């Protein structure tokens, strides 16, 4: 039985490695990205082609996959005149591996359903290195029949594939996860900054905090930067800021409000405004140390 043709848009560090994994597994891929060098790297590995538009990519693919930066970018690629919606085939599916606003995902899913196509939101856990080997964690959601049909495809890309329910539940879970993680890192970085400002030994503070229930891998990432000067979390302040903004929006769409997330979002946005967005999240320690009342 022949393998489906995969159309893939978004060849950043994660997406590019995901496509390389697909190629190693014998899939034909059709790709698009603003970075032509990233496209050329895919083409050089063979069994690949480049689409001129999302519409063309969707017309030629059995499965369309996205690994993009924002909901706004996803909506543009889906809804534009030469977008995915204009070209996707009946019986096909759109799989969104990015982190998006759940309400946007559900809106896109409804539009695709009118064309006889399905949608799975499938945000990712783990690193680009895991992506290259097909070992990602995938938080998948959507119509159960659609998930069952494409579960084997997802398992080509993820070691652990979780089914979370109706469309949007994957993006909801990812945003909750990132809200918890990035709020924790922001708070712990503030704690180390307060120690620095007060003249308390930061290494001793870590020894004390890590000997109790506050200990966590996130605390270790914060200590690595605030105490040892090593920035190794691998998740940027820009990305954290985007995800916290999406979490705030999601909670608002649910008819509620998250004061905690708003506080974290304010801190992250301030660090971005200070030109620190490309740094890893624990580097917000520097922002807190320099912050004046």
Structure tokens at 176: 């909750």
Structure tokens at 55: 């519409």
Q: Which residue has the tokens 């893939």?
A: 8
Q: Each residue of 132-154: b (16+ CB within 10 Å) or e?
A: bebebebbbbbbeebbeebeebb
- Active site residue: 132, 155, 174, 292, which one? 174
Structure tokens at 77: 């690629």
* 253 to 66, 73, 101, 257: CA distances (angstroms): 24, 20, 10, 9
Nearest to 34 by CA among 15, 9, 65, 70: 9
Pairing of strands 124-125, 136-140: antiparallel
* Whether the Cβ atoms of residue 192 and residue 222 lie closer than 8 Å to each other: yes
Half-sphere exposure of 275 (CA within 13 A, CB side): 0
Distance separating alpha carbons of residues 277 and 269, to the nearest angstrom? 8
223 an active-site residue?
no
Task: Tell me the catalytic residues.
Answer: 174
């Amino acid at each position: 039985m022949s393998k489906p043709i995969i159309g893939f848009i978004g060849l950043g560090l994660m997406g590019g490695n995901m496509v390389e994994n697909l190629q190693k597994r014998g899939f034909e891929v059709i790709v698009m990205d603003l970075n032509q060098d990233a496209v050329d790297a895919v083409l050089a590995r063979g069994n690949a082609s480049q689409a001129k538009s999302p519409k063309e990519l969707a017309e030629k693919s059995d499965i369309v996959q996205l690994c993009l930066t924002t909901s706004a970018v996803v909506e543009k690629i889906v809804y534009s005149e030469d977008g995915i919606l204009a070209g996707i085939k009946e019986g096909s599916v759109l799989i969104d591996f990015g982190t998006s606003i759940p309400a946007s995902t559900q809106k896109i899913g409804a539009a695709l359903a009118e064309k006889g196509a399905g949608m799975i939101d499938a945000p990712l856990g783990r690193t680009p290195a895991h992506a290259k080997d097909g070992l990602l964690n995938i938080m998948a959601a959507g119509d159960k029949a659609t998930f069952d049909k494409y579960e084997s495809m997802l398992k080509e890309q993820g070691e652990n594939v979780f089914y979370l329910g109706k469309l949007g539940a994957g993006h909801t879970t990812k945003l909750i996860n990132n809200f918890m993680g990035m709020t924790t890192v922001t708070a712990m970085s503030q704690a180390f900054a307060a120690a620095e400002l007060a003249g308390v030994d930061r290494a001793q503070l870590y020894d004390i905090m890590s000997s109790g229930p506050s200990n966590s891998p996130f605390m270790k990432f914060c200590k690595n930067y605030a105490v040892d000067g090593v920035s190794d979390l691998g998740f940027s302040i820009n990305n954290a800021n985007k995800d916290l903004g999406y979490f705030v929006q999601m909670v608002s769409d649910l008819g509620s409000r998250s004061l905690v997330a708003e506080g974290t979002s304010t801190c992250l946005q301030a660090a971005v405004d200070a030109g620190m967005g490309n740094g890893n999240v624990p580097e917000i320690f520097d922002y807190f140390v320099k912050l004046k009342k």
